[in-house]
Copies of this chain bind each other. A is one copy, B any other.
Amino acid sequence: VNRLLVLAADAEAYSALLSAANLQKLELVTAVDADSAEAVVDTCNIILGDPSLVSTVLDSARNLEWVQSSWAGVDQLCQAGMRRDYALTGLKGIFGPLISEYVMTYLYAFERQVFTMLANQARRCWRPLPYRPSKEISLGIIGLGSIGRHLARTARQFGIRVTGLNRSGRPCEDVERVYTMKTIAEFLEKPDYVVLTLPDTPNTRHFINAGTLKMMKTSAVLINVGRGSLICESDLVASLHGGGITGAVLDVFENEPLGPESPLWQIPNVYITPHNAATSFPEEIVEIFAANYQRFVQKRPLLNIVDFELGY
């Protein structure tokens, strides 16, 4: 018999779905926060949960064999010095559609000036505004994992021109040209929109800083759907205020929730969303857990194993 701790704010939803899935030889324990988890975690050999919560009880989980993350970013479980004597599985491949919805929505909100339209509407003002055909819009995607590739395909459907940057520079479907760090200056000088889909690793920290911001067009808009650590926020604020780039769409931040003191809240052309560009739908996560649980029981290799060194 295996004992599963479901450790997530919406543990009840997971629990109902897991019970309905009727997984064999599986006992269920739920906790919605670290305190209640602490009391039961040492009896469990599996955890399904939010990495930020799981990280707080990791050391007490004496019988731990496997953690299935309920979220995309697993960096909080991959820090130096943390235990690595268990299997950590992630959620690769499911957030591409949600992130693509978010990016396309805000990209066209800029292009079609929907917020200006709304302000005009409030004044009962009828004023058509010009916009570009999509074939004249360029999108540069940093990180061409499953999310970046799904976004490229979606943007192509609209006729947008797509370039990308990753470590290998290997060609990628729907991406006109793939650049590497050696050619980053050439890459960053072209796109109207630069989208970050990188994970949080020691190599990606402050990827966007004063130096890389200067490589971008002054008309460019930066979109971060990756992790907050990818951007040096003070450099971004300086660029937005000081004649650097034009705007930003930010779903993730160096510190979350973004504090009321942050200047980002009220810079023109900056749009803030509270880390929900993509959300985990419990139905989908439970389906993934159930498939991996069959493998776990049969002692077959788990899907979407995270490499603790790489951090994804």
Chain A positions near chain B (C-beta within 8 angstroms): 97-98, 100-102, 104-106, 108-109, 111-112, 114-115, 117-118, 120-122, 124, 126-131, 133-134, 153-154, 157-159, 256-258, 260, 262, 265-266, 271-276, 279, 281, 284
Contacts and interface: CB of A to CB of B under 8 A. Distances in A.
A246 to B, nearest CB: 17
A101 B105 contact: no
A249 to B, nearest CB: 10
A127 B106 CA distance: 18
Contacts of A159: 97
Contact of A157 (B102, B115, B154, B256): B154
Identify the interface centre among A102, A118, A258, A284: most chain B CB within 10 Å of its CB: A118
Copies of this chain per assembly: 2
Nearest to A133: B281
A275 B126 CA distance: 9
A105 B109 contact: yes
A85 to B, nearest CB: 33
Given A117-B272, A126-B257, A154-B157, 19 more contacts: A101-B108, A101-B111, A101-B134, A102-B108, A104-B108, A105-B108, A105-B114, A109-B109, A109-B114, A114-B271, A121-B265, A121-B266, A122-B266, A124-B262, A127-B274, A128-B279, A133-B284, A153-B157, A157-B157
B258 A100 contact: no
22 contacts: A97-B134, A97-B159, A101-B112, A102-B112, A104-B108, A105-B105, A105-B109, A105-B114, A109-B109, A109-B114, A114-B271, A124-B260, A126-B256, A126-B258, A126-B274, A127-B274, A128-B279, A129-B276, A131-B279, A133-B281, A154-B157, A157-B157
A124 B265 contact: yes
Contact of A274 (B100, B128, B154, B273): B128
B105 A271 contact: no
A276 B113 CA distance: 11
A175 B153 CA distance: 21
Contact of A128 (B97, B106, B276): B276
A97 B271 contact: no
Contacts of A124: 260, 262, 265-266
A147 to B, nearest CB: 15
A128 B258 CA distance: 12
